[in-house]
Amino acid sequence: MAARLLRLRRLLRAASPRPFSAQASPLQTEQHGTKRPEPSSAKSLTDIGTRRIFSSDHDIFRESARKFFQEEVLPFHTEWEKDGQVSRELWEKAGQQGLLGVAIAEKHGGIGADILSSAVVWEEQMYVNCTGPGFSLHSDIVMPYIANYGSEEQIKRFIPEMVAGKCIGAIAMTEPGAGSDLQGIRTYAKKDGSDWILNGSKVFITNGWMSDVVIVVAVTNREARSPAHGISLFLVENGTKGFIKGCKLNKIGLKAQDTAELFFEDVRLPASALLGKENKGFYYLMAELPQERLLIADMALASCEFMFEETRNYVKQRKAFGKTIAHLQTVQHKLAEMKTHICVGRAFMDNCLQLHADKRLDSSTASMAKYWSSDLQNNIATQCVQLHGGWGYMWEYPIAKAFVDARVQPIYGGTNEIMKELIARDIVSDK
């Protein structure tokens, strides 16, 4: 069904010079704006058909994505947590369903939809509380670098296979001694004729163990006037001599997500492995990081919505003192506080999504979204575990997994302390 829908959308795009996001059907017109309920007044925070930024086309896509995550991911996630990775079969199924490379232009081999359609995939993954599949990083962090800065040869080689789920992507920024400070990286690529010789190591790399292609951030000019002027990006394929994958890292959360150390020992790369221009890598990173932070923020908010609904259902069933604990005023007030905070966060988050869809989201605003949403996610997780009582501490309960998975959100993608620094810098700047 999803494949047929995507083929139909491609026909619609071919028949009209307007982009996908600009097409308006009668159904879309009927359901736009004030006629679409906001989450605060909907029966559930995860209802389909809410939120004014979306259209009926997004709703249809959301139904397809929700069915996929409920049927193809949720039943198998516990086993993948034991394995420390999802299956390769899942990646190919996601490709067949049109859930990978959603916002990548059709001319590059992508689905060609808008960023709001990508957000549907991010949110639906969080609504099943399954953090294993690294689809969002693959589709909306790694692929844009290739689509935006890659050569025609690189785009043709990687994008179609990545959309099909047959080539899994990762990006290697973080090092043992350099996390949020990208200018502190030590991985070095030295020219050798027309080739490059790459040496260094990376850590905490999502999709690292299963990756088929990795974007590696490396220093290429140690004499540059600042580290930012001497960084480049390289495409390194799995199986390249000297490229070694360390073990899957044993994390406290994200158990089904393969996270690995990567080592590069005299890796010889051809000139064609350089992504974009030499020594321009830092600027590419700065241009793409707002979308990464937006992605983290939206997934954090979606997790809050999931945790709230999970907890609401629990307190309406759990009995104490002869009645359900939902009858206790202190529990009711806590639910009221949480829903209010989530809905306020969702309003800002949806504004950021719309700004990004209009190509108007700036770095400072994206940083606000990332810091606020990930902090809120951890706050909501703590309160929801408390409302579950002792059962909230049991691994088989979804809220326990959501609790530990939330903890990394304020850390990766740039720590929340760095987010505040970026926001403050914009506030006090005289420019």
Residues 6+ apart with CB under 8 A from 220: 188, 189, 190, 191, 196, 230, 231, 232, 278, 279, 281
Of 292, 305, 310, 417, the catalytic one is 292
Q: DSSP for 307-361?
A: HHHHHHHHHTT-EETTEEGGGSHHHHHHHHHHHHHHHHHHHHHHHHHHHHHTT--
Cα–Cα distances in angstroms (integers) from residue 100 to residues 3, 95, 140, in the given order: 12, 6, 9
CA distances to 91, 123, 212 from 360, in Å: 32, 22, 33
**Contacts with 176 (C-beta within 8 Å, 6 or more apart), sequence order:** 201, 203
Looking up tokens 């190509």 gives: 359
Q: Which of 62, 55, 64 is nearest to 23 (CA)?
A: 55
Using CA atoms, how far apart are residues 353 and 356, in angstroms rounded to an integer?
Answer: 5
Catalytic (active site) residue 292: yes
**372 CB-side CA count, 13 A:** 19
DSSP label at 249? P
Determine the residue type at 402: A
Residue ranges with strand state E in 183-248: 188-192, 195-206, 213-219, 231-237, 243-248
Which residues lie across from 206 on neighbouring strands? 259
Can you say whether residue 414 is alpha, beta or left, with left for phi > 0 and alpha for psi between -120 and 50 degrees? left
Distance of CA 218 to CAs 114, 187, 223, 243, 431, Å?
A: 31, 5, 14, 14, 30
Rg (CA), the chain: 22
β-partners of residue 324 are 319
**Residue 267 forms beta bridges with which residues?**
198
Place of tokens 């502190």: 184
Contact 84, 248 (CB under 8 A): yes
Annotated catalytic residues are: 292
